[in-house]
Structure 1
């Protein structure tokens, strides 16, 4: 493993041990907080790492959005994306927000509101990033939710979760991932032996926010009848 990869994995492990959380760039505003905020982040305090929210940012479950409809306070709202990937808005009801950029969601809301008003002007701000996590479940030593702060592969995700238990069916790994429209999930399969021993490096996929990695036990794997 190259030095850069080793440092990357070490950084992820250090993050988990120190309990650092991911925050959006909007949470830290030097103009508002000034030098006082800098002093507050003294050595020894729990530091927060910044995740820069770009126009290409993909909205995920639990993200907090501030949706503003110009000159209409009743329709403006701060909402959190539900685990099912949807948000609820006045007049429009439930809308799928997950797997979309703020621009795409803005256009969808604008289209819906045109039935009630002429040329609505919408703006969306990511107030709090909560969705950049992966979930590792099943036969790993430390199952749970882990922050995703840099490029992370499937094997790195399993390593962060403490590796396989003796009962793990390591060649039957399944990754559940939201589809691009956010309306469902796809199922990706991977084999540890294929990745490590055989030419199956394509199965060592790069993880995305919201991915659920499931490592079943050997007792759950049903052998085909002969």
Structure 2
């Protein structure tokens, strides 16, 4: 015969059994778990100002210049079809920062821009063969990465092509798991060891359910997206409070009376600065070794950065024609109309 006292003891044992066994079904485990936002992170995130002027989904930015680094994949070729110079076309920059030019040796191009790399290769060819030929260096696959960590289905490092946002990154990582926290998501940017920290809150449900681009940041190389797992409180109160807006997110969303005001078909890449590319000519075939330090040599190459404050793209009338795009830079074709 089972007494009420025995029934209560059995009930308590059934509740405590998964906890004592280390099961995390209720968000609790006797051992630490990796996907929990630390107190330091919470404190730094609480200090982050709201409405930061950072690139977002509808106001993306292009990088000023790419500096080559080990792992970048290049295409090196001569522009003169009649030239006798033959170069290995596909090149991956080695760990020592060099590329293999075959009969013309190795050239260290790490930490150089594409224009500086072209000048170095042209000089190496001229020094060994005496032939002046123009070389084109194209960046095929940069080594840039971003990282998605925590409660996602496929955490890992992913290649950054330049257009990705937080939503793109989470979808690339397979989406959130069933144990992902609804509010403890952030984007962390790498900073120097003794510098301040850049942590940006991510309002995932506002991004996906309302199309709010406030926290759908435009990713940069090295960005880390962290998705924390649900806490015990979140799991227990989820059925009752799970639909509430997070404290870090906007709680005053307003519906647009006319959905056509959304700028869904306009170029959204802007540049705060642009680099004036100095033309690189091959060495003069009639010159001697004394001109090895001419004005086009990489040691004296200094990119000129000119600040720009471009006006926002014009809004297309609801019933009017689409704007005609201008001539685009073929090397940095981001869909931006250059003026």
With the length of structure 1 as denominator, give the TM-score of the two structures. 0.41
With the length of structure 2 as denominator, give the TM-score of the two structures. 0.30
Say which one has the larger Rg.
Answer: 2
